Structure 1
């Protein structure tokens, strides 16, 4: 496997948006208050032009396998950034693609000078949650910031 991790480009928008929505349907979490209905999902390149943010894609032989980024979500404490839009296609799971994407995003958070990484998820994504726990994320009792993703009910924080 020769997986490349690279920054998102404008041409990637429709491909990664469809990959995200396929995964949401797969896990039956395609509902309001999630990335599934968030209009920014169709314009991730533009979203991640914001200072202090970045979005990484995993690609193999020209096929996008997944993506993950960091974003300074409104309302987060100073020095905290959100790990966002972290999805890996079914064919690429279990091959270390997610771990590569998450590590690259955490390195980016450190590069930008953040000292905490926050995330929101769902219990249905238990494999991802296990990966977050292995990386040192701890469960929180409620959400931080104003992501607008009110349907999420798992909140975690990593202190860098």
Structure 2
């Protein structure tokens, strides 16, 4: 029986979580340069999100990490704007409503922290992800915001919280 749970990232998750994110990025054909693939934070997600107004959640199935997503203030933007960060799921986690649950958890955290808008970056060809984002109220932008360092990402979205 599957025992899927969503919980905050823990120090012992770092290695497995970095592998999950890199595996999904490779599967999706995302460039390794100018995307989350080369972020230093990938190898130390717990430490990266162990700060005020930041949170990263993992999806765990019988002790195995199968996905995750986080919220943090958008770099070099108003303190009212957060970013939905590093939302990735292994194939076995998809199609089970986990994306919607994770999105709800992240956006609720963002509201609790006083953010008024949530920004995200993705790839134009990640159609399932973009469909989910639109379903919860994200709308497309014509240009990027803030300073994520992800210059290879070519789709930007924002949502009023």
> What corresponds to 1:135 in structure 2?
136
* Deviant stretches of 4+, over 6 Å: none
Q: Which residue of 2 aligns with 1:89?
A: 90
Aligned to 2:62: 61
Q: Offset of 1:62 from its aligned partner?
A: 0.7
Name the CA distance, whole Å, in 2 between partners of 1:2 and 1:96: 14
**What is the CA deviation profile of residues 24-58 of structure 1, one whole-angstrom value per residue up to 9, with x for unaligned ones?**
11111142011111111111111101211100011
Quote the offset at 1:98 in angstroms: 1.3
User: What SS does the corresponding residue of 1:147 show, helix, strand or coil?
Assistant: coil
- Displacement of 1:78 after TM fit? 3.1
1:18 aligns to what?
A: 19
| 1:34–1:152 contact (8 Å) kept in structure 2 | yes
Asked whether the 8 Å contact 1:21–1:30 carries over to 2, the reply is no
Q: Which runs of 5+ in 2 are unaligned?
A: none
| Structure-2 separation of matches of 1:100 and 1:53 | 18
Which residue in the other structure is 2:126 paired with? 125
Q: With structure 1 as the length reference, what TM-score do the two structures score?
A: 0.96
Give a deviation string over 1:62-86, Cα, whole Å, max 9, x none.
1111100101132122311000010
Aligned residues: 160
Alpha-carbon shift at residue 154 of structure 1 (Å): 0.5
Match of 1:43 in 2: 44
Aligned partner of 1:156 in structure 2 is 157
Structure-2-length-normalised TM-score? 0.96
Q: Note if 1:100 corresponds to 2:121.
A: no
Q: Which moved more, 1:69-78 or 1:135-144?
A: 69-78
- 8 A Cα contact 1:66 1:98, kept in partner: no
Paired residues of 1:69 and 1:83 also in contact (CA < 8 A): yes
